Structure 1
């Protein structure tokens, strides 16, 4: 049975995250030529970092602060990972027996096999606890199952509820980013999060770093010539980044297989973790060459009950250098666009909060605080967001 769809009675609410972040020379996300990805927007070439790259960076940042059992894994080699767990069970004599059990356990999922033996045809996204629950289904029956022929083993395992294991108890990563399984719609998890491609707020030119690497032994012998010659494409940019979390979808995804009353606390914690990791993460491409990790100049969080709103239209006309920094001009543009959207569409946001690095007495700081409220620390922003969501939940607004 596929997961139950959301009913029309579920209140809709969205947490929009807007970020202005300046990055020095970098190649965080390269194209098929090895150069930084870009895009034309507003008639000029912009620096671009794909949503996939920042989603992965967000996931990796989140994993750093969580125990391994709460991690999620996206891989073709789910059978090998399962066999590794099964191998340590009492009664499993060897790797071949573990692989046989793993194949039988995964058969009810109906996922097509990949070209490499033991692999699935595409990446499968699952939680470590889900794999542990799968192992627990047969932990007490290993000798009995191994004594069966292949057909009988597959038929016996098919009645153990394998699909239910992967339909419930989702880790936060799967609940946020979703799972697509082409062969079996019942295993699909609709993503609660949408992440936009990050775009520079201004025009950007591609530059190249020509480098040579010295061969230490050649240098020691006073011989001339480089050990290696090459070049790396790079650019530097002030980026506008945007993501949104559908609270209703996240709550639904986290409710599956959890005790009643546990889904909402998990939802609030999940939103906090996502906002934290999305704001603090940076794709690591060529990180050793450019050391490009920075923190945002602005993080604005807006809770909406109408629809998600990407404010990239603020930068259709590219920002140009002027009396204030590109980051400051970009922040002021973003604030003005947010206020304009609220005025034109008449949809006031129930909650707005902002962290910014601009002087509140300067033009950029005044514009930001007029649109999003007083500046605060990132910790205070998260606490205020949690308090608003708790209050909205108690009143039935979300």
Structure 2
């Protein structure tokens, strides 16, 4: 029997007045859930924020780049490693990429879509031609095209995936062989309570204006504040398929949990200074399927006593217990780190275990997952 293992992450985070993720009107994104309007932050916004934090823990060589200018990135690397000038490097790089079959964009040197490729994969592609770059630079277009046909360029993009490509996947619609199935799914963050949009009317003063008493400019920014429920799940088996090595898989899980929990979308960051840390992080290892516990908040939380974050934590714990009791799918491992008081702690402990630090949560999870990966 093949065991399918998933790591569910449940996070509660209170954010002050902010505009983390704006819609096409410039206002904070929203959604109706449970019959009321909620604050919402898109999964794409939080995935990018997490990916930007990877750079604090992972060498650039083991990370990816999302770009339309793949040929340009190849040309930079070729020029840095050879005596060729920019024009010669660009010509060879374009020819090197041609056999892969990536559709060209409208602008010269650009692809038709963003391509998520690893920095190490780009370097591996350059390894195929760097040793004979001077020779290739002397070829005419037909000879250069012929010289590239037998090179395993596409193979370089199908192997040795960087951490972020292995986690978030890659889709290339017209070249299915380059697709990488994502090992991580991220839900849209949703407020646990009803949230109304507000607007900050502001003026700016012209410091050099001595004649006019009016404002130099006026404007408004939409914002809201919310306690957000954030959820993500990691498919351990898919991640192992994408990365291969046990140590690489364990490190990827740890990096993602740390980065996802600590990251924050930067929208209007200078105007609101909205960065906070979660008040609760729970990890649940399941052997059946991922389970999003957002139904804990289908009835919006109110806060007559104890605050919305604390009542949200109690609702999350109760929903987890109800789910386990109803379906009988007892998790293989649970762990929680939170900042709530003694009364709430006992309720949370009944559902997720004794509270530990986030570092201890990650360490315990790593040890538990190591057992699956080394069977």
TM-score by structure 2 length? 0.98
What is the correspondence of 1:352-371 to structure 2 with a 5 Å cutoff? 352-359=334-341, 361-362=342-343, 364-371=344-351
Query: Match of 2:325?
Result: 343
Q: What whole-Å deviation, never above 9, does each CA across 1:67-118 have from its counterpart, x for those lacking one? A: 22222110111111111111123342x2111111110111122111111111
Q: 2:246 aligns with which of 244, 264, 267?
A: 264
Query: Match of 1:260?
Result: none
**1:322 maps to 2:313:** no
| Kept after mapping to 2: 8 A contact 1:332/1:365 | no
| Cα distance in 1 for residues equivalent to 2:136 and 2:289 | 51
Q: 2:231 aligns with which of 242, 257, 265?
A: 242
How far did 1:222 drift?
Answer: 6.1
**1:227 maps to 2:207:** no
Query: Match of 1:3?
Result: none
Listed as ranges, the gaps of 5+ residues in structure 2 are none
How many residues were matched structurally? 375
Q: 1:210 aligns with which of 183, 201, 207?
A: 201
Query: Match of 2:67?
Result: 75
How far did 1:12 drift?
Answer: 1.0
SS at match of 1:64: coil
Query: Match of 2:49?
Result: 57
Query: Match of 2:39?
Result: 47
SS at match of 1:48: strand
**1:155 maps to 2:135:** no
**1:381 maps to 2:364:** no
Query: Match of 1:171?
Result: 162
| Cα distance in 2 for residues equivalent to 1:374 and 1:253 | 33
How far did 1:246 drift?
Answer: 0.2
Q: What whole-Å deviation, never above 9, does each CA across 1:351-391 have from its counterpart, x for those lacking one? A: 100000101x21x2221111000000011001100111112
Q: 2:242 aligns with which of 253, 260, 263?
A: 253
How far did 1:133 drift?
Answer: 0.8
| Cα distance in 2 for residues equivalent to 1:123 and 1:211 | 37
| Cα distance in 2 for residues equivalent to 1:11 and 1:147 | 55
| Kept after mapping to 1: 8 A contact 2:57/2:255 | no
SS at match of 1:216: coil
Q: 2:137 aligns with which of 141, 146, 162?
A: 146
| Kept after mapping to 1: 8 A contact 2:169/2:183 | yes
| Cα distance in 1 for residues equivalent to 2:211 and 2:14 | 42
SS at match of 2:81: coil
TM-score by structure 1 length? 0.92
| Kept after mapping to 2: 8 A contact 1:70/1:171 | yes
Query: Match of 1:111?
Result: 102
Structure 2 CA distance for partners of 1:151 and 1:315, relative to 1, 3 Å: same
| Cα distance in 2 for residues equivalent to 1:72 and 1:164 | 16
Structure 2 CA distance for partners of 1:136 and 1:10, relative to 1, 3 Å: farther
Query: Match of 2:117?
Result: 126
| Cα distance in 2 for residues equivalent to 1:241 and 1:273 | 17
